Chains A and B, each alone.
Chain A
């Protein structure tokens, strides 16, 4: 399917914008390339949307969804889609992304990002959903790889192959979350290098960097700490293999001061910058 050109994120570092930083950010207007917000926090109208409108006057915005549940068996929630469409029309984001996950079955919703078996049947199902969303929004969707704590016996392929095929079939982009790959490498024994090599570089449109924590031997994607050295090292490999892309510092729990977030973004910018220069 052919999708119209949409404004792209600048190939720089950005940060996740959360409510605790709204005021400070608008007061200081720090030099940062772009900002990413969780779409659902701006559904409807009112104070939150007003804030986002003001932020949008100064920065490109990426809308990152956490609640669509693209791979869920039941039909997509039309109310959710309509709210996302309305938000996109108003904010004119530079990117719109969601996760390769499901969140509802049998009439009940689990408000989390859940893994599923990577089968051909799942691929057909998810591809239909991605096309449905892209048709409604009239733009490309970026799909993010998932952090996972378990794996399904029935999987017929790896997540990277699933994403690569999904992108080829639907024209969707890939949001490569480097921390999620690190988590899956530690938890599930995913071969990180093979994963990166399997992703189609042309389709990768954004990187995420975040911190994880370990519970009872299992790495959990808590987004509650600084980016670890291991994740910076994997990011380096991604930069080597695929080149620089807009890169987000994601921090959702135990959120630090804005200055610390910006500092993490500067680190990403510097690491990316070395590859920008080599490309010239």
Chain B
């Protein structure tokens, strides 16, 4: 006789694979057969994952339409098991999947849109972050400024794309002007997902700002990060960028010392 956990593993396998019927189940029911019952569990399994993906990727869904989105999620679900009881965690690997999904090859920007949307989805559910304390920063002696480490919000997602995906994303938001006249070959963008007072938004950074922010994310002290960015981008406005990223809760706090 199988162990209890093995009984459930057989049941799980039959649901996920879509094949077979476990032998530990009653085979006869009043008004239907076991195959019907198993089909309901299989549909629930796939349907719940599909709905989670549709919830996390509304712009991808609008761009490809319901039928194509179902085709994509069908294959995605086949190769991507869920690992969390919280459905909001499902679908992180969608962008990587889309990049390799041959039927979507004609939409080369789609994977980047998915990256942006997962950033938005994650930011929506992210833990609350502290607001950067500018007054406390002002109390730091000037000679120590170079050694400051600015902490980047882990919920912020930075994306360098060859396509204008930030414009694409904005045009497909519920309250946008729906200006779909976007020339997909008009050039790339540097998109940054932010959450300001619980509202998730996508903004764009200059190459200099992104260069600086990436160094801060790696833990580079303020002095060397700023010097390196200014050497590459002499027009870089350090103060304005600092204030903008503080206002957008991208920078949340700072540390001083090793």
Q: Are A218 and B85 in contact (CB under 8 A)?
A: no
- Asked if A108 contacts B82 (CB within 8 A), the reply is yes
Contact B125 A46 (CB under 8 A): yes
Is A161 interfacial (CB-CB < 8 Å)? Answer: no
Task: Give the number of A-B contacts (CB < 8 Å).
Answer: 153
Tell me the bound Cα distance from A48 to B2 in angstroms: 44
Partner of B9, one of A48, A105, A122, A153: A105
CB distance from B22 to the nearest CB of A (A): 9
Query: Do A216 and B84 touch (CB < 8 A)?
Result: no
Is A240 part of the binding interface, using a Cβ–Cβ cutoff of 8 Å? Answer: no
Which B residues lie within 8 Å of A72 (CB)?
A: 8
Distance in angstroms between the alpha carbons of A47 and B197 in the assembled complex: 8
Q: Which chain A residues in 56-76 approach chain B with CB under 8 Å?
A: 67-69, 72-73
Query: What string of 1s and 0s marks CB contacts (under 8 Å) between B28-70 and chain A?
Result: 0111101011111100110011001000000000000000000
**Contacts A105-B5, A121-B4; A187 near B125 (Cβ below 8 A):** no
The reply on B246 being an interface residue by CB < 8 A is: no
Most A-side CB within 10 Å, residue of B12, B31, B39: B12
Tell me the smallest distance from the CB of B229 to a CB of chain A, in Å.
30
Nearest residue, chain B, Cβ from A112? B44
Q: Tell me if B4 and A150 are in contact (CB < 8 A).
A: no
Chain B residue numbers with a CB within 8 Å of A80 are: 84-86
A77 touches which one: B24, B49, B84, B198 (CB < 8 A)?
A: B84
Interface contact B29-A218, CB-CB below 8 Å: yes
| Residue from B37, B44, B199 within 8 A of A218 (CB atoms) | B37
A109 touches B81 (CB 8 A): yes
* Chain A 158-186 near chain B by CB (<8 Å), digits 1 or 0: 00000000000000000000000000001
Task: Return B227 CB to nearest CB of chain A, in Å.
Answer: 35
Closest to A189 in B: B30
Is A217 an interface residue when CB atoms closer than 8 A count as contact?
yes
Q: Mostly helix, strand, loop or mixed at chain A's interface?
A: mixed
Main secondary structure of the interface of B (DSSP, over half): helix
Q: Are A114 and B85 in contact (CB under 8 A)?
A: no
Task: Indicate the size class of the contact surface on chain A.
Answer: 35 or more
B255 shortest CB reach to chain A, Å: 22
| Residues of B with C-beta under 8 A to A106 | 9, 12-13
Cβ of A149 within 8 Å of any chain B Cβ, yes or no, is yes
Q: What residues of A have a CB within 8 angstroms of the CB of B41 in the complex?
A: 112, 114, 149-150
CB-CB under 8 A from A48, the residues of chain B are 124-125
Partner of B25, one of A73, A152, A215: A152
In contact, A73 and B8 (Cβ under 8 angstroms): yes
Measured CB to CB, the nearest residue on chain A to B5 is: A73
Contact across chains for A217 and B31 when beta carbons are under 8 A apart: yes
Contact of B88 among A43, A47, A109 (CB under 8 A): A43
Looking at the complex, which one of B4, B49, B123, B199 makes contact with A117 (CB distance below 8 Å)? B4
Residues of chain A within 8 A of B30, CB atoms compared: 186-189
Which B residues are in CB contact (< 8 Å) with A151?
A: 25-26
Q: Check B49 against A187 for contact (C-beta < 8 Å).
A: no
- B127 lies within 8 A of A44 (CB): yes
Of all chain B residues, the one with the shortest Cβ separation from A122 is B4
A188 cross-chain contacts in B, Cβ below 8 A: 29-30
Q: What are 14 A-B residue pairs whose CB atoms fall within 8 Å in the complex?
A: A40-B85, A44-B127, A45-B126, A48-B125, A73-B9, A77-B84, A80-B86, A104-B12, A112-B48, A150-B38, A153-B25, A186-B31, A187-B30, A217-B36
